[in-house]
């Protein structure tokens, strides 16, 4: 009985210490407020409006979410900060601004926060924290959601934003320079892309009957590339652009001795794309409806190649991946699934970036953008 009492007392004390330690976890980034003129540009570039739910991860004194609802008419704002002093300040500022009914502030770790309802996420953290946060943004935010970051991008190892050489980076869709009271600031803007990787099929009705098209799309964040096979010929797509769920690309071929360019554009909704194709040149010129369907795919399983294997599984509705080396299983934190496409970094120090498309029981892709990579489902 005595030992049971002692055990209970010991467990409760341990729990209390754990809770205290969790509360005392130091912030990953010190508090530095974003100047109001930069806040305005961040909310302007994301086009915050009445349908938006704006989350500021590491909200400081709450100024971004308060401005989002007060000055930009956002539906709601949620600020998250690990520091209780910041949360007190935020609540006080919301009260002064008269917006307490439309904002809330949560004292918690931003990595533990459920952000699935956000349509806009604002950040002023650090490059390494942005990189750590990146898989969570892709896991939890819906395609078309916007992300904006003050001063720091999502390309830890890139030399300057937009560098195409940096294959592990999530390059911004827009970069703005904003003059602050003391210095120039940079604002980076991204749109969460739909997952479009995979094999897509459609047919186009022509005067000579139906023409079948098979397109294999590869994806790295919002960058898309691929090839289309039709009539036994394979051609690369050009001008591919993916903004949220809006996909466009072009295909140029010689048909009957004439150069024909087809400009496809459509909205991705799961495994269907609905849109139009604008055929320029040739005898079938004109605009018509375009519907493409993606082949079924299954990412779940253990995938093996000469250099190793990964296990992809579904946990609590989310896909996770682990690297298996002999008996050792190591979770892969930088893992993304874009439709039938996978992308992960195995060793960030060595920059081993794997990217490929699941076709049946095979993944076909590249390591570091150059070396061919093929894995088989076990």
| Contact set with ligand SAM (CB under 6 A) | 27-29, 31-34, 56, 58-60, 63-64, 80-83, 86, 109-111, 124, 150
Count CB-CB contacts under 10 A for residue 21: 9
Query: Residue 34 or 219: which CB sits closer to ligand SAM?
Result: 34
CA atoms within 13 A on the CB side of 131: 13
Instruction: Please report how close the Cβ of residue 376 comes to ligand SAM at its closest, in angstroms.
Output: 39
Instruction: Please report how close the Cβ of residue 75 comes to ligand SAM at its closest, in angstroms.
Output: 20
- Cβ distance 59 to 83 under 8 Å? no
Classify strands 120-123 and 53-57 as parallel, antiparallel or unpaired. Answer: parallel
Q: Is the dihedral of CA 135, 140, 146, 152 positive or negative?
A: negative
Provide the token pair at 326. 């002999």
CB-based closest residue to ligand SAM: 58
Query: Residue 116 or 378: which CB sits closer to ligand SAM?
Result: 116
Q: Which helix (H) or strand (E) holds 127?
A: helix 127-140
Query: Residue 125 or 167: which CB sits closer to ligand SAM?
Result: 125
Query: Which residue from 33, 127, 136, 13 is spatially nearest to 83, judged by alpha carbons?
Result: 33
Instruction: Please report how close the Cβ of residue 18 comes to ligand SAM at its closest, in angstroms.
Output: 17
- Cβ distance 54 to 122 under 8 Å? yes
Instruction: Please report how close the Cβ of residue 100 comes to ligand SAM at its closest, in angstroms.
Output: 19
Query: Residue 148 or 215: which CB sits closer to ligand SAM?
Result: 148
Query: Residue 58 or 143: which CB sits closer to ligand SAM?
Result: 58
Query: Residue 124 or 264: which CB sits closer to ligand SAM?
Result: 124
Q: How far apart are CA 365 and CA 358, in angstroms?
A: 9
Q: How far apart are CA 114 and CA 137, in angstroms?
A: 10
Instruction: Please report how close the Cβ of residue 133 comes to ligand SAM at its closest, in angstroms.
Output: 9
C-alpha Rg value of the chain to the nearest Å: 24
Classify strands 308-315 and 301-305 as parallel, antiparallel or unpaired. Answer: antiparallel
- Helices then strands (H, E): number in the chain? 5, 25
Residue carrying the six token digits 């004390």? 13
Residue carrying the six token digits 């001795």? 257
Specify the 3-state DSSP secondary structure of 89: helix
Query: Residue 29 or 97: which CB sits closer to ligand SAM?
Result: 29
- Cβ distance 69 to 106 under 8 Å? no
CA angle (242 as vertex; 238, 247 as ends), nearest 5: 75
Query: Residue 29 or 214: which CB sits closer to ligand SAM?
Result: 29
Instruction: Please report how close the Cβ of residue 110 comes to ligand SAM at its closest, in angstroms.
Output: 4
Instruction: Please report how close the Cβ of residue 33 comes to ligand SAM at its closest, in angstroms.
Output: 4
Query: Residue 190 or 264: which CB sits closer to ligand SAM?
Result: 190
Instruction: Please report how close the Cβ of residue 13 comes to ligand SAM at its closest, in angstroms.
Output: 26
Query: Residue 72 or 303: which CB sits closer to ligand SAM?
Result: 72
- For the chain, the first-to-last Cα distance in angstroms comes to 53
* Cα dist from 44 to 33, 60, 72, 251, whole Å: 18, 20, 8, 35
Instruction: Please report how close the Cβ of residue 4 comes to ligand SAM at its closest, in angstroms.
Output: 38
Instruction: Please report how close the Cβ of residue 245 comes to ligand SAM at its closest, in angstroms.
Output: 28
């Amino acid at each position: 009985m005595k030992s049971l009492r002692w055990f209970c007392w010991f467990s409760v004390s341990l729990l209390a210490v754990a809770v205290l330690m969790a509360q005392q976890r130091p912030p990953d980034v010190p508090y530095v407020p974003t100047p109001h003129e930069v806040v305005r540009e961040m909310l302007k570039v994301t086009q915050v409006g009445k349908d938006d739910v704006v989350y500021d991860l590491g909200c400081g004194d709450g100024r971004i979410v308060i401005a989002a609802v007060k000055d930009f008419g956002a539906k709601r704002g949620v600020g998250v900060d690990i520091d209780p002093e910041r949360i007190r300040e935020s609540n006080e500022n919301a009260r002064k601004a008269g917006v307490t009914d439309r904002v809330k502030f949560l004292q918690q770790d931003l990595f533990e926060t459920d952000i699935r309802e956000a349509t806009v996420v604002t950040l002023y953290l650090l490059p390494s924290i942005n990189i750590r946060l990146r898989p969570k943004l892709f896991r939890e935010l819906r395609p078309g959601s916007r992300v904006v970051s003050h001063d720091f991008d999502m390309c830890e190892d890139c030399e300057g934003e937009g560098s195409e050489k940096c294959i592990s980076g999530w390059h911004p869709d827009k970069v703005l320079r904003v003059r602050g009271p003391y210095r120039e600031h940079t604002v980076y803007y991204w749109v969460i892309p739909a997952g479009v990787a995979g094999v897509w099929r459609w047919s186009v009705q022509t005067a000579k009957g139906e023409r079948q098209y098979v397109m294999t799309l590869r994806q790295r964040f919002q960058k898309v590339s691929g090839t289309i096979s039709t009539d036994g010929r394979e051609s690369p797509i050009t001008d591919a652009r993916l903004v949220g769920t809006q996909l466009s690309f072009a295909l140029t071929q010689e048909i009957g001795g004439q150069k024909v360019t087809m400009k496809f554009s459509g909205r991705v909704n799961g495994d269907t794309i609905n849109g139009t194709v604008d055929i320029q040149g040739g005898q079938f010129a004109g605009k018509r409806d375009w519907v493409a369907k993606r082949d079924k795919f299954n990412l779940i399983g253990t995938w093996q190649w000469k250099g190793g294997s990964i296990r992809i599984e579904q946990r609590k509705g989310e896909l996770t991946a682990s690297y298996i080396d002999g008996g050792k299983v190591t979770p892969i934190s930088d893992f993304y699934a874009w439709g039938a496409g996978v992308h992960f970094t195995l060793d960030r120090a060595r920059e081993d970036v794997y990217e490929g498309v699941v076709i049946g029981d095979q993944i076909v892709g590249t390591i570091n953008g150059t070396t061919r990579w093929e894995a088989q489902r076990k």
